[in-house]
Chains A and B, each alone.
Chain A
Amino acid sequence: MTDYAALIPVNVVTGFLGSGKTTLLQKLLASPRLKDTAVLVNEFGEVGLDHHLLENVTEGALLLENGCVCCALREDLRESLRDLFSRRERRVIPEFRRVVIETSGLADPVPIAYTMLAEPVLQHHFRLGTIVATVDAVNGRAQLDRNPESLKQAAVADRLILTKTDLAPAGQVNALRTELRRLNGGAVLIDSNVEFPDPERLLMDDAFDRESRDREVDRWLQDRVSGLRPSEHPHGSQAHDGTYSFSVRVDTPLDWSAFGVWMTMLLNRHGDKVLRIKGLLNVAGVAAPVLINGVQHVVHPPVHLECWPDADHGSRIVFVVQGLSRERIEASLKVFNALANPAMVSESVSPVRDQPALETAPSRQ
């Protein structure tokens, strides 16, 4: 098994047309910390990029494997990354340690993630890094409302970068912040006008990198999970096609096999509507917490922390979904978990249909 942490991380910089992707990338690439980064751009736009390892990718046709749009291999990307890696190995180009892909304004980032994890050659050399999405403070709200591409980019991102906040009224910027929080509460939200883009925070820190793993989880727990209460995200919200985020908390340990059965079944049936899953799990019998991370049907291999980051040992999972009920997802997870361990039945309340019998279920004999 390839050591996942040792693979070359591939960051995706996405964002709707004119939202400032290239400007952001230009600022990031000025940092010496990214000098050993190869950059793949979809098109050379008006903002010039000056980088020694800059390649152009023509966004090509998708190879649909099973009819699901997210499970599509990006043929263009496959060829570009294979070629890039081949030239690196032959020492035709410098030995880059990271790749950044700038997508087109209308691109769906998920097939890029799928290509990285499912392509037989690429999966042995590359892994998906953070997905960074730029959202324009002037036009962002309208773009989220009208363009499914913009909504998807923001919903699956790990980092949401608000751009052009100096050009929009403060009230409009705050409303957009609130909307982005509701949409994707698991992402780090950064105002590019307040904070100069930091390559470490935006691209380099992630849960798979052993050095930054703890920092990334602390950031995620403090800024996002604790601030994301289910009550803030009423189930049934129909804004943006019902896309919203919520966190589920389970206090009893999760059985890993039962969790795997549940999540594979959920993603098989609803993977097109489960845009993002990120979680810190208390797995029964395992001392350290296990991190899970998925983008639609694409699930990263789980990783573990050395120890719990705080005194709270409950499992916390953040979902970004489209039109699915939080209550139903939570109830379903608990019912499946109870299959593996009847001691957990006490927590297995079923708001789907109230069943008092669950509270007094006998122990398995």
Chain B
Amino acid sequence: MCGLCGMLGRPGHWTETATNAEAFQGRARSHTWHRERQDRARLVNRVLRHYGFNLSDWAATSFVLRSHTGQTSLVDNLTEVWAAAEALGKRDCDPLDEDLLTALSEDEAAR
């Protein structure tokens, strides 16, 4: 339980390796929780920029989703990122969208 707000704690999101330590033990390279959050935000931003959004870590507990027009939303995990981006941007964030996949591939090739 959170000492400040009294909220009951929830199990971590399935994408976070810290909440599934057993599944990710024995990593070849050193891996920290903080580094993982940074990696995740960096990857999400590669996708979000095509929708006009940016994601940044907030106090290592949540993420702030910001649109290029200044709208913001606080989200807890990856699942919430996409729902919030669709709600704020009023358009679908579809990983199967041809235009998105082409843009991501072109970005990667240009790096």
Residues of A whose CB lies within 8 Å of any CB of B are 1-2, 66, 120, 123-124, 256-258, 260-270, 283, 285-288, 290-291, 299-304, 324-325, 328-329, 331-332, 335-336, 338-340, 342, 345, 348, 350, 352-353, 355, 357-358, 361-362, 364-365
A357 CB contacts on chain B under 8 angstroms:
105-106, 109
Are B17 and A256 in contact, CB atoms less than 8 angstroms apart? Answer: yes
B94 CB contacts on chain A under 8 angstroms:
265, 269-270
Which of B23, B43, B92, B108 is within 8 Å of A257, CB to CB?
A: B43
Are A257 and B105 in contact, CB atoms less than 8 angstroms apart? Answer: no
Are B10 and A120 in contact, CB atoms less than 8 angstroms apart? Answer: yes
Q: Chain B's interface: helix, strand, loop or mixed, by majority?
A: helix
Are A340 and B43 in contact, CB atoms less than 8 angstroms apart? Answer: yes
Are A345 and B108 in contact, CB atoms less than 8 angstroms apart? Answer: yes
Task: Decide: A285 near B19, CB < 8 A? Known: A264-B79, A335-B101, A361-B108.
Answer: no
Are A332 and B29 in contact, CB atoms less than 8 angstroms apart? Answer: no
Are B22 and A285 in contact, CB atoms less than 8 angstroms apart? Answer: no
Are A268 and B19 in contact, CB atoms less than 8 angstroms apart? Answer: no
Size of interface on B: residues with Cβ below 8 Å to A: 47
Inter-chain CA distance A266–B47, complex, in Å, is 13
Q: What's the A-B contact tally at a CB cutoff of 8 Å?
A: 148
Which of B14, B22, B24, B104 is within 8 Å of A283, CB to CB?
A: B24
Chain B residues 20 to 58 lying within 8 A of chain A, measured CB to CB, are 20-29, 31, 36, 39-40, 43-44, 46-47
Residues of B whose CB lies within 8 Å of any CB of A are 8, 10-12, 14-15, 17, 19-29, 31, 36, 39-40, 43-44, 46-47, 77-79, 81-83, 86, 92-96, 98, 101-102, 104-106, 108-109, 111
Select from chain B the residue with minimum beta-carbon distance to A305: B23
Are B27 and A123 in contact, CB atoms less than 8 angstroms apart? Answer: no
Are A350 and B102 in contact, CB atoms less than 8 angstroms apart? Answer: yes
Which of B20, B95, B98, B108 is within 8 Å of A269, CB to CB?
A: B95
